[in-house]
Structure 1
């Protein structure tokens, strides 16, 4: 009969630990690649974004009659949830030359929002100051004589411009390529039971142990 030794128990435990480590490693590899990092455009579209009707996050394209979603106007968590729930959407996003996709909560996106708010505040301040000067002139009764010239319009505030230099980023748009969905990991197999240690029989009175 085979007797289980301490070495057999140690080898069984080591084999079980190795198998569990391999399963954990496989699960980690499947979960460490977010959906946003796998985003690719399968069918590029050249329709101008500025001609579409909607907001910075989503606009309707009259050419393909689809809603185009601006992934770069979402936070990273919002983009992950969006890509995980919407099937084959038509998207637009800013992407660096190294493949990084920009989102609204990345440092570049936050800086872009801050600059845009500063421009809007400056335009509002200039308009208020100009209105104040006109009010002062009207109260003083100042008479102005001469030809009238139309005042130049303030420069338009563009909210969909590239967040960084054009040489560092491009904006793909179109239907995304299929993204592999995470699959459920197989349950680890239970360890094989160790062979039972045979029990020695007690000798009969006056007998001999076989």
Structure 2
């Protein structure tokens, strides 16, 4: 395998092991299998050079834990596609969180439309105003209504309860 250029895609599992990785002792890179008395190397936590060195210096059987993508590519710690995808996922998560926080906080930071002679609204007043507006937002309003229903106005003829009443007629 190493006479020419090392190719990760040539790695194959000859006889699969059915022991659970979680039951083996060790860390995320290498664990010891009590059944076969061998170390099992997690290729996903090794870079390509470490895998190549492991394969070339192995005398006899080497146990590995391989991850293959749908296209058959073996995943390693320094896999450029995996690293790129992880960066994209992280950036997407950060942008989504920032947008969510911005949508919620930007109205709070906005100055009120009151005249210059009146003091600016307090944070609580502004928060209550934004919360009231948020009930009208398409998805967020539905969720907010479930979590914290807004007060409902009740109209009708009023009766006076006898003093000491329970609140029900």
TM-score, normalised relative to structure 1: 0.36
Structure with bigger strand share is: 1
Larger Rg, first or second structure (1 or 2): 1
